[in-house]
Amino acid sequence: MNQTPSASRTAWLVVMLLIPVALLNYLDRQMLATMKSSMIGDIPDIETKAQWGLVLGSFKWVYAFFSPIGGYLADRVSRRHVICFSLFAWSAITWATGHVQSYEQLLWTRAIMGVSEAFYIPAALALIADYHLGPTRSRAVGLHQMGIYIGVIIGGFAGYAADDPAIGWRGAFAWCGLIGIAYSFPLFLFLRNRPATEQATISPTAGSTVRSLLGNPSFLLLVVYFTLPAMAAWVVRDWMPDILRERFNLDQGKAGISAVLYWQLAAIIGATLGGWLADRWMRTNIRGRIFVSAIGTFLLLPALFGVGNASTLFVAVLFLIVFGLGWGFFDCNSMPILCQLVGPEHRATGYGLMNCVSISCGGFADWIFGALRDQHMPLNLIFGVFAGIALLSIFIALCIRPRENTTS
């Protein structure tokens, strides 16, 4: 279905407005990983890696629980309102994180942030899918995901900010929170729902939505496929700064940059190329997006083995770049594949359910990884297990069967 030039401009404007929100969404998360040493030094009752893994996991478990709720709300009321409220709320919590004084307070702020951030991604990707129909959907989602990757990259520099006495880890959280609060007001003024898909006109109940989704075998396969590679990605994103710092005796700033910058830049390239290739492949094969996503997941296998066995920082970074390329292919096609399985009235809820399972498992992966590191289990063995899990997910992806009508 072709859009008019005016509608096309509006569709891309929506993506551009949401990119800074996606950036802040992941910047606020990534700073925690890259400023770990400074935060532990300032909050003395954090004593083990398992405790730190619980800090990372607490956010994910709460986020996961509230993701379907946020998705359902975005399918029933204004997606615009959900997005703007979510940004304002998590930014206020980010500001508050800079003022915690104990491990318990840090756990609470991360848990509350999980509530507020859970409402954003399902609503934002569903809104993008409302505006971008089949021919541009993967590219639009890929462009939005670039905001996430840039946020993670900027978060990688947070280690330097934490080491700067004029800023510190507390100042970094406070300033990012204030920026997000400020952006929520112009976003509310300029962001609009697509008139033809105003959520207030949609009638399905929560029960019918859940039955429709859980009764769809391909959706259930997509949930599993969406979850398994993401477990490795969460560990790489959350733990790699600490891994490189310990393994190659780096300072906090250099470890954060090395662990984040290169693979996130590669992910931007992967999302750009993967979005273009998926949209093009869809012209001739209804499973084009699934194939592109599976190719990306396949690239994670050598990357994980390589990172686990790297003997130098240079080799580790090379394999992280491969990981980023694969992740970009995978990430830009998850919502577009979901759009091939369910109608517009169920998409935010469906993505929320996907997030629920994926991030719950990601939280356990963070926690278990920390516990295994406390027991001194070799990295190559741990990452080898994650590579095997990713391999299994490829076979699951190839079993997904999209609907014939994928233009809505």
Residue 56: CATH number of its domain? 1.20.1250.20
User: Does any domain span residue 124?
Assistant: yes
pLDDT at 186: 96
User: Does any domain span residue 372?
Assistant: yes
Q: Mean pLDDT throughout 44-73?
A: 82
Statement: residue 403 has pLDDT above 90:
no
Mean of pLDDT over the chain: 87
Q: Mean pLDDT throughout 2-21?
A: 84
pLDDT: which is higher, 272 or 1:
272
- Domain containing 75 equals 9-397
Closest CA to 83 of 113, 127, 50, 39: 127
Q: 155-170: per-residue pLDDT in tens?
A: 878 888 888 888 999 9
N- to C-terminal Cα separation, the chain: 9
Closest CA to 270 of 314, 228, 317, 331: 331
Q: Residue 56 contacts by C-beta under 8 Å, 6 or more apart in sequence?
A: 32, 33, 110, 238, 363, 366, 367, 370
pLDDT at 50: 74
How many domains in the chain?
1
User: Does any domain span residue 408?
Assistant: no
| Alpha carbon distance 317, 303 (integer Å) | 10
User: Does any domain span residue 402?
Assistant: no
Statement: residue 285 has pLDDT above 90:
yes
User: Does any domain span residue 407?
Assistant: no
Statement: residue 5 has pLDDT above 80:
no
Percent of the chain with pLDDT over 70: 94
User: Does any domain span residue 2?
Assistant: no
Statement: residue 203 has pLDDT above 60:
no
User: Does any domain span residue 405?
Assistant: no
| Alpha carbon distance 144, 151 (integer Å) | 11
User: Does any domain span residue 377?
Assistant: yes
pLDDT: which is higher, 345 or 91:
91
pLDDT-based confidence at residue 407 (cuts at 50, 70, 90): low
Statement: residue 398 has pLDDT above 90:
yes
Rg (CA), the chain: 20
Contact 86, 70 (CB under 8 A): yes
Predicted structure pTM score: 0.80
Closest CA to 335 of 187, 61, 81, 127: 127
pLDDT-based confidence at residue 200 (cuts at 50, 70, 90): very low
Contact 108, 159 (CB under 8 A): no
